[in-house]
Chains A and B, each alone.
Chain A
Amino acid sequence: MSLTAKDKAVVKAFWGKIGGKADAIGQEALARMFIAYPQTKTYFAHWPDLSPGSESVKKHGKTVIGAITAAVEKMDDLIGGLSSLSDLHAFKLRVDPGNFKILSHNILVALAVNFPGDFTPEVHVSVDKFLAALSAALADKYR
C-alpha cells in the first residue's frame, strides 16, 4: 500500500492546514491513547504525571508530532529519512511496533475532532496510509 502522488499531495495540503495546531494535536493524541489504551502507559512509567494536561504529555506530544510533520517532507524516502529514529525505537526504546498502529488511530481521532470538515474520507485514507508507511519505516531496524 505505497503512497501515490495523490496521497502525498493530499497529506501535504492537509498538514499545511493543521499549521499551529500541530502541537495540540500531538498532545491530544497521546492523552487519548493513554486513557483509551492504558497498556501504552507501560512505556512511560518513568514520567511523574501521565494525565492529559501534564507537562510530560504536552512536551512529548510536541516531540512526536514534530517528527511526523518533518516526515511529511520525507515521503519520497521514509525509510531513509527516519533511519535514526528507527535506530532509537529499535535499540533503545524497544516499543512494540503494534503500538504505532494504536497511536496512529488516536492521531486520526484527534484530527477528526479538530478538523471535522477537512478530515474527509479522501484525506482520511491518505493520512492513514502515510502514518502506516511512517510506522513501517520506524520499525525498519527492529530485526
Chain B
Amino acid sequence: MVEWTEEERSFIQEIFSKIKYEDVGPKSLCRALIVYPWTQRYFAHFGNLYNEDAIMGNPEVARHGAVVLHGLDAAVKNMDNIKSNYAELGELHSEKLHVDPDNFKLMADCITVVIATQMRASFTPAMQAAWYKFLSVVVSALSRQYH
C-alpha cells in the first residue's frame, strides 16, 4: 500500500489544478512521438506522423494526448487505490493494445518535461519528487496485468 504524506498529496492536487488537459496532454504525446519515435508503432492508424510538424499538427494525436492525460484522473481522485483502479486499463494495454510497458515510463518522462516548461521554477524539486512517485505508482499499476 503506497503511503502519501500530506505534502505529497497537496503537490499532486496543485499540479493538476494548474495544467490544462487539452494543452499538456497533446504536447506530452507529441513529445513522446518525436523524442522516442519507436512509440509511433502504436499509432499507425493516426495518419501522417512523418515529421515533427506533421505530428504536432495531427488532430488525432492532439485528441489522444488529452485522452491519455485524462487517464490519470482516476489516480488523482483516489491516490490510495491506484493499484486496483488501474487493473482494467492495465489489462487493456496488455491484452488489447499490446503496448510494451517500458513505453509508460517514456510517456511519464515527457509529461514531466512539459509540466516543467509550463510551471518552471514553481515545479520545485520536492514537487518533482512527489510527481515522479505518483507517475511511478500509476506506471506500476498499469504494468501489473502483463503476463
The chain A residues found within 8 Å of chain B, CB to CB, are 31-32, 34-37, 52, 105, 108-109, 112-114, 116, 119, 121-122, 124-125, 128
The answer to whether B34 touches A52 (Cβ under 8 A) is no
Residues of chain B in range 6-33 having any CB-CB distance to chain A below 8 Å: 30-31
Q: A105-B109, A112-B113, A116-B118 given as contacts; is B35 within 8 A of A121 (CB)?
A: yes
The answer to whether B52 touches A35 (Cβ under 8 A) is no
Which single member of B52, B112, B121 contacts A121 (CB below 8 Å)?
A: B52
What DSSP secondary structure best describes chain A's contact surface? helix
At the interface, yes or no: B117 with Cβ under 8 Å from chain A?
A: yes
At the interface, yes or no: B147 with Cβ under 8 Å from chain A?
A: no
The answer to whether B34 touches A122 (Cβ under 8 A) is yes
At the interface, yes or no: B128 with Cβ under 8 Å from chain A?
A: yes
The answer to whether B128 touches A119 (Cβ under 8 A) is no
The answer to whether B112 touches A109 (Cβ under 8 A) is yes
The chain B residues found within 8 Å of chain A, CB to CB, are 30-31, 34-35, 52, 56, 109, 112-114, 116-121, 123, 125-126, 128-129, 132
The answer to whether B125 touches A112 (Cβ under 8 A) is no
A35 neighbours in B (Cβ, 8 Å): 125-126, 128-129
The answer to whether A31 touches B125 (Cβ under 8 A) is yes
A32 neighbours in B (Cβ, 8 Å): 125, 128
